[in-house]
Chains A and B, each alone.
Chain A
Amino acid sequence: MTDDYTSFRRRDLLRGVTLGSSALILSGCDAMNENATFRSALRVAEKLNQATHRTLTDRATLAPEFAISDISPVFKTNGSLTGTSTDYLAHLQNNFADWRLRIDGMVANPMDIGLKALRAMPARTQITRHDCVEGWSAIAQWQGTPLRRLLQQAQLSPRAKFIVFHCADNYGARPYYESIDVIDAFHPQTILAWGMNGETLPVKYGAPVRLRVERQLGYKHAKYVMRIEATDDLSKFHGGKGGYWEDVGDYEYYAGI
């Protein structure tokens, strides 16, 4: 009886100490996580990671490409499954016949280009792996127009630092948008894809065009792109952090990991 009592007490004490200390560590970590100074210290690592990647890769180093036999049987759909703006829905009804991609901002030659003209330009076909920030991956073949060709045609200003992609989908209550820097914008595999696995890009994957920026994570790959804007300042767009998930979810601007 006494033995049972003491062993219970001891076990209780041990559990108390274990839970207590782990609760202390956890609440400490949560408190640090909410601390602005600590958060900005962690952010230094993002810059370090990007600098390391940029040192280890040339601006044109290609992401691995795969064989047709490596393509995922079913490519997981994610994020918005259709554009939501009235403008977009009208274009969808009309099979995007009158749809025009607007390219403006810090360019000498702002332009509007239709799907037919886009598809008539020299294209790139690549079988690449799409990596979600959550951890899953899927492989597909993408066909599209290299972004650098469009930026060259629009005569991008040398002062422009970022390319912003305005999208036709609202995710939750806010419009989706994304941006990349000029180095990634001129990367050979950075394309505006209008074809997927040998077919016209389906709506759930971002029709009429979506961005592929192969050395970064999925949330950078904006779907339903309607307008491309060159800028030197991201703070004037929406939440100011350069993209929907950067604004809403505090994800890294540089999504190379």
Chain B
Amino acid sequence: MDAAQNMTQDVAKRHRLSTRIWHWLNAFVATILLMSGLMIFNAHPQLYWGDFGSREDYAWLQIDDTRTTGFVRIGSARVETTGVFGLSLGSNDNVRRVAFPRWATIPTGYDLAAARRWHFAFAWVFALGLTVFMLAALFNGHIRKDLHVRRAEWSAAAIWTDIKNHARLSLSPGYRLSNYNIIQKFSYIGVIFLLLPLLILTGITMSPAMNAAWPWLLDLFGGRQSARSLHFIAAFLLVLFVVAHLIMVLLSGPINGIRSMITRRHVTMSKPDHGGELP
């Protein structure tokens, strides 16, 4: 009773409508793109650097099987992954010799044509969504107010403290309610302005027709097979980002965090100056 009276209720308005719509649209579209992309990868589970690459050439990454075991090979390092990667069980407990298992792909069975249709249709939503969000963020001040790294924040000591806080998973004290911390800013800037455009551009670079239209993309990424490798690596990094993001949501109050991303209202019962982290 006393404790509750000492607390103040802060209601903050957090995410703008454009941010909220884009967030949930992306959660949906990126999942479809990832899972249909993994099915497309299953059609040729090797990656190369340069202009060309096929079963006749050296692959830096291979997810394959020996008929009885599945494995992932990166360079000369090889890990057995039977049951998950390279060799897994199908719907009727039949053995499937594919890179990614059925629970990770759209469609669940091997269907390159269908996966390509899903991927190339939802890629439009993904690319247009990012473009509109970037423009909105530029004009509504989201970039300037929330993502822009201020001069005072470029301090090695402060960044180090922030890294230590994150490593200890200690998120509540010391953060201002309305601002992102420096690690958040770096990760959001990295994802929005580097990773997502990289995914889109490396995807476009794999199209032979677009190679005729925009040959400079091949020069930028070092060839079609390099673009394919970078596309896969960028998708992997995006998965890592989402995992880290979800952990932060769980640690910083998932109900409140999800509510603020849906309704904009972020409610904290706390002593003044002790806000939670904005995931």
Contacts and interface: CB of A to CB of B under 8 A. Distances in A.
Contacts of A192: none
A160 interface: no
Contacts of A61: 212-213
A63 B124 contact: no
Contact of A45 (B56, B124, B206): B124
B219 to A, nearest CB: 9
Interface stretch (B65-73, B105-113, B186-194, B234-242): B105-113
Contacts of B57: 72-74
What's the interface size class on A, roughly?
35 or more
B136 to A, nearest CB: 23
A2 B225 CA distance: 54
B77 to A, nearest CB: 22
Given A45-B120, A135-B41, A137-B51, A63 B212 contact: yes
B52 A129 contact: yes
B51 to A, nearest CB: 6
Contacts of B214: 56
Interface stretch (A173-181, A197-205, A247-255): A247-255
A32 B225 CA distance: 31
Q: Would you call the interface of chain B mostly helix, strand, loop, or mixed?
A: helix
B209 A134 contact: no
B54 A76 contact: yes
Given A22-B103, A214-B208, A215-B212, A76 B116 contact: no
Contacts of B225: 136-137
Contacts of A257: 116, 120, 206-210
A23 B224 CA distance: 34
Contacts of A53: 207, 209-210, 213
A245 B166 CA distance: 52
B224 A137 contact: yes
A138 interface: yes
Contact of A39 (B108, B117, B218): B117
Interface of A: 19, 22-23, 25-26, 29-30, 33, 39, 41-46, 48-49, 53, 56-57, 61-64, 66, 70, 72-76, 129, 131-139, 214-217, 249-252, 256-257
Nearest first, the 5 closest Cβ-Cβ pairs linking A and B are: A256-B209, A45-B121, A135-B44, A136-B54, A74-B56
